[in-house]
Structures are given as structure tokens and as C-alpha cells.
Amino acid sequence: MKLLAAVLVGLVRGQSPMDLGCMLQNCKVVALKAFVNPTFIKNSICETGCTKVYDTDMTPEKLEYQNCTTSCAVSYESDAGNDFLACMMNNNCVSFPPIPGSCPYKKEHIQPGTNLKSLAGEFWQHRGKNALWDCYDCQHIHSMFESNDTEFCAQTIFPETGPVKAPCWSYTYSYDLYLVDKVGGGTRTFQQTWQLPGDVPDGNPIDIYYIYMGSWHNETWYILEESDNYTILGDCSYMMDWIDVGSILWVRPGHVLTDAENAQIKSVYKDKMGWEYETFCHDKHEGTCRLEPGKEVKKGRPQVFRSLSFEQLTSAQNYIQMADMATV
């Protein structure tokens, strides 16, 4: 629900990131449905509590702010809110407070001869670079296989080239997102299936597009290294003026990385990117995660960076209680 967060930040600052004329012309019906939806109202109030974080958040890529808004969005997701967001973005009726940055990856960082086949099958994430998006627990590629189903592949439409053509890659993944305390805290497993292009030449960056909680995103993936047991993926994620940089170490189920493999992974990151592998987070993975999406499990508060965002969310709880009373 980054759209709503952007709107609220703008309103707090006395700016208007939302083009009301554009909304009335293109999204009036879905807007009305969203504005009377109790869950959407609760999400709006929850994300209002995140707006103060934007200016004070000094983390790279405003990660505390993004975690705050994402926790609200997954806790109070609704079809009405997603439809409103999609309409506003598709019709360019909204602008976003910038999260500036640049993508550090280059074509020469890619291992020659690699493509999306490097991620075929099943993987669990063991380590991640981005302190938010790569550090959610239980990141899991359930399956990745080539599909010749033309209708399935065409469900994703690239703005430059149109519908994804068959054969494409069917990519099903999940990870655990944090819920706000008002709905019980803990986490919820979030799962999606994407249609990824099957015609990218070996050794090239891989552009992908997808819908995430109603908002349109695109990413560029870079296969830094593959082996029989693991794949190192670099990625840059874009949404309008928002840029996130990450890298994931995907490991085959049942495999325990050896000292030699960890040393090789460390050298790849150091030699290609100048990054210290030891600073990457460790994610819960195989054997410690539930496998069925949608089930909620209460956990202790997340540690270090992620615990901060929950503290920041507490300021919104009184407003959420007001919304509960107003929408009964």
C-alpha cells in the first residue's frame, strides 16, 4: 500500500501527491468503494502513524518507513484498497515521495552463461543483503519451472513488449511479513506466483514485472554466481521514484553450506560488489518455517532494525482503535 503512504506523507507536509481530477476522471468508482471499506480505513489510519517516520528515517532506502507501511498494508489488506491503488498507478494519478538511489549492478557482474534456469526448482533463502526485504524470514522458492501455457504466461504484461510470451517461467515464492500488534502481531505468510520471461539471452540482466498488494513493480535481476547447491541473486527493485537494492543467497533444500562454499560466496560479494558477506542477515529457512500460506503464527518481536518499526507503529494504535469504533 505504498500509494496510501505517499498520499499521507504529502498531506502531512501540505503537499498533494494525488491528482484529484485524475482520480475523479479515472478511478471514481473504485475510490468510492475503498473510502467506505472498513479495512481500507483502518489501513489508512495505521499508515498515518508511519508518516512521521519518513523524515526521521535515516536508514538507506527509508527501510524503517517501508517496514512500517508494509506491516500496516499486510495487516489490513483489502481488495477495495488494492483495486484503488492499481487504478491510481495505472492512470498516473499519484506521485510518490522519493526514495532516491541507484542500482550498483552491471552486466559484467553476471556469471557468463547464466539465466533464470539458475533458479529452477526449489530454494530457501539463507542470507540477504537488504535489511528489510531480504531479511524477512522463510523466503522460499516453492517451484520454478518452464511453462508453455500461453494464457498463463500472458497474465503479466510488460509495458515495453506486451504480454509475456510462452514459454515463460512459472515462479512461486513466499515469505513471512510482520503484522501490527492490533491484529495480534506475529507474521503472515505471503505467497505469489509470477510469470517471468523465458527469452532473456544468457548472461544478461533479467527484467521482470509484477503486482504486489495492488501496486505495479518492476525489478532487474542479476545472477552473480550459480553452483549445484546455491545461486547468488542480485536485484534492484523499482516503483516510480522508489529504488531498493538487494541480494539473496538461495540454497537448495537440505544442503548445508560448507566452509569452502561460504568462502567462495564471500569472495564473490567482495570482488564484484565490494560488500562484506558477514554483514548480511541470516534468515530462518527450511525446518523452522510453516509451509502453508495464509496461516498466522505469533512470534516474539523481531530483533535489531525490525523491532524499531514496531515501536514506531505503536503511535498509530490509538487511531486504529478509533477506526475500530467508527467502523463497527
CB atoms within 10 A of CB 163: 15
Beta bridge partners of 208: 219
CATH topology of domain 107-297: Lipocalin (2.40.128)
Q: CB neighbours of 287 closer than 8 A, spacing ≥ 6?
A: none
Q: How do the pLDDT tens digits run along the chain, 328 residues long?
A: 444 544 544 444 444 467 888 988 999 999 999 989 998 888 888 877 787 777 788 877 777 787 787 778 778 888 888 888 778 877 888 776 666 678 999 999 999 999 999 999 999 999 999 988 899 899 999 999 999 999 999 999 998 889 999 999 999 999 998 887 765 667 888 899 999 999 999 999 999 998 876 677 889 999 999 999 999 999 999 876 678 899 999 999 999 999 999 999 999 999 999 999 999 999 999 888 876 555 544 333 232 222 323 333 333 333 334 334 333 3
**DSSP string computed for 130-148:** STTTT-SS--EEEEEEEE-
Answer for the pair 189, 295: CB distance below 8 angstroms, yes or no: yes
Return the pLDDT at 97. Answer: 66
Q: Is the peptide bond before 167 cis (omega within 30 degrees of 0)?
A: yes
Residue with cell 479495512: 39
Answer for the pair 243, 237: CB distance below 8 angstroms, yes or no: yes
As given in the structure block, the three cell numbers for residue 220 are: 532487474
Query: Percent helix, strand, coil in the chain (nearest 5)?
Result: 40, 25, 35
Count the residues in the chain.
328
Return the pLDDT at 75. Answer: 82
Beta bridge partners of 242: 99, 239
Return the pLDDT at 183. Answer: 58
Domain with CATH 2.40.128.20 in the chain: 107-297
Q: Is the peptide bond before 38 cis (omega within 30 degrees of 0)?
A: no
Predicted TM-score of the model (pTM): 0.74
Q: What confidence tens digit (pLDDT) does each residue in 16-27 have? A: 467 888 988 999
Q: Select from 208, 138, 142, 214 the least CA-distant residue to 177.
A: 138
CA distance 85 to 96: 12
Answer for the pair 105, 204: CB distance below 8 angstroms, yes or no: no
Q: Select from 119, 230, 216, 205 the least CA-distant residue to 159.
A: 216
CA distance 149 to 81: 30
Return the pLDDT at 102. Answer: 87
Question: What DSSP state is assigned to residue 72?
Answer: H
Q: Select from 213, 175, 208, 177 the least CA-distant residue to 194.
A: 208
Return the pLDDT at 217. Answer: 80
Residue 291 main-chain phi, psi, to 5 deg: -105, -15
Beta bridge partners of 140: 124, 174
Residue 52 burial (C-beta neighbours within 10 Å; 0-12, 13-18, 19+): middle
As given in the structure block, the three cell numbers for residue 31 are: 475510490
Beta bridge partners of 15: none
